[in-house]
Structure formats: structure tokens, C-alpha cells
Amino acid sequence: MSIGAGDLRDRWTFQQRSVDANGARRGPWEEGFSVSTKVTWLIGSEAVMQDRLTGRQPVVLTIRESSVSRQITPGWRALDARRAGRVANITAVSPSKTRGFLDVLAVIGVAQG
């Protein structure tokens, strides 16, 4: 399965924490970058169903791979640029099955901190 520009219908902004006075990434969230994204809502497995029952929704955000997007780590978060208040905590980043893309596993509906 390949991904084309027509599949990247959503827009998400990726952010990371700023560095605090001690040099740790615990400061306020700082604006990162926005990219066109393909959102895949995970359904079906027992773990996913359990998450959904508790108000959490696991998703895969597929984005183009670049020098900037390769910096994303589980310490980052993603904001839906078209739906205010939809925030996803990033849990993992891996190469997509389609060359030139990254799959960002995230969970929507968890506490932000």
C-alpha cells in the first residue's frame, strides 16, 4: 500500500517542551512544525477497545519523513490544527511501510503534562 499526497488530508502541529533553567525539557510547550498528515484511527484489538472505554483513542499519524520530522520522540505531542483541543501524546515513532514516511503512534484523550 502506498501513500500519496491525496491521503494526507489532515494537518497536525508537532511540539516539544522547551528547556527549563536546569537544562531539562520540562518547560512550556514550544511551537514546532505543522505538516499534512494521514490519520489512522486504531480499532479492533482488545487493548484498543479498553483504551476507548476509558476515553483514550490510539491513532497513527503518518507524515512525510524529513530532517525535521526525524527529530520527533515520545516526549513530543501533536495538536490537530483543524480541531482545537484535540491533543495527542506521542508514544512511538517508526518508519512507515511506505518509503519516505514515518508512522507516529499517539494517544488522544490523556492528561497533558
- Predicted confidence at residue 8, as pLDDT, reads 94
Q: What number of other Cβ atoms are within 10 A of residue 104's Cβ?
A: 25
Least confident range of 24-28, 71-75, 76-80, 109-113: 109-113
pLDDT (tens digit per residue) in 33-77: 999 999 999 876 666 556 555 578 999 999 999 999 999 999 999
CA 26 to chain centre: 19
Confidence of residue 110 (pLDDT cuts 50, 70, 90): confident
Question: Which has more confidence, 112 or 65?
Answer: 65
pLDDT (tens digit per residue) in 77-96: 999 999 988 999 999 999 99
Determine the Cα–Cα distance for residues 90 and 4; give it in Å rounded to an integer: 23
The pTM of the whole model exceeds 0.95: no
- Predicted confidence at residue 26, as pLDDT, reads 79
- The full set of domains in the chain, from first to last, is 6-108 (2.40.10.270)
CA 93 to chain centre: 8
CA torsion through residues 105, 84, 31, 28, sign: negative
Confidence of residue 21 (pLDDT cuts 50, 70, 90): confident
